[in-house]
Amino acid sequence: MSEVVNERRNPVLDPIERVSEVMFGLIMALTFTGSLSVASDGREEIRTMMLAALGCNLAWGLVDAVMYLVGTLTERARNLTLVRQVRDLAPQAAHAVIADALPGRLGEVIGPEGLEEMRRRLVAVSEVPARARLGWDDFVGAFGVFLIVVLATFPLVIPFMIFSEITLAMRVSNGVALAMLFVAGWALGRHSGVAPWRTGFTMIAVGAFLVGATMALGG
């Protein structure tokens, strides 16, 4: 909470959120490349499909960037409200507010002493912003979100720009997608302490299922 009072931005997305953004971009691109037919008439159809995939991911990246700003501002405003509540309430009531704001059952784990220490630190803060604001760093973070989504598309599109044979381009593109999904799962495994190779193959399976479901539903 003290970071929110000082309106300091957290690092742009945690590892789970970064992998999620990459997954969104990959799945969006795969729904386009997967719909290409091996018997396509020519390069014009491929060009149209690739432009559609890039355009879709540009739009998705823009939406994610805007929602990142909305989420940042909303969370900041919520935490400022909580800080004001804690400062105005009696200690026991303030403890309940702090415990409810903590993730999971952390409030029960740290106990009354920990909650009181947090309350005292919040009360001792001399300056509390009048309202939540977005700073330059927040817009840099939003641009980072946009790049993560958009750049996840390009590795899958490049084979169609290099190879004239559609079958070969599709196989290379799908291979790149599988490799990227595995790397994303590997990163999640290392972050969570689970066997990276296991989460890598799990991510491949999850990605394949989501792409199939998206295409089956007309996505």
CB 31 within 8 A of CB 215: yes
pLDDT digits (tens, 9 = 90+) for 44-87: 666 676 777 777 778 888 988 998 899 889 988 888 888 888 88
From the number of C-beta atoms within 10 Å of its C-beta (0-12, 13-18, 19+), residue 94 rates as buried
Q: Structural domain tally of the chain?
A: 1
At residue 215, the pLDDT reads: 57
At residue 6, the pLDDT reads: 46
At residue 66, the pLDDT reads: 92
At residue 44, the pLDDT reads: 65
Whole-prediction pTM? 0.70
- Is 90 exceeded by the pLDDT of residue 88? no
- Is 50 exceeded by the pLDDT of residue 1? no
Going through 51-133 in order, the beta strands assigned E by DSSP cover none
Domain that holds residue 54: 2-216
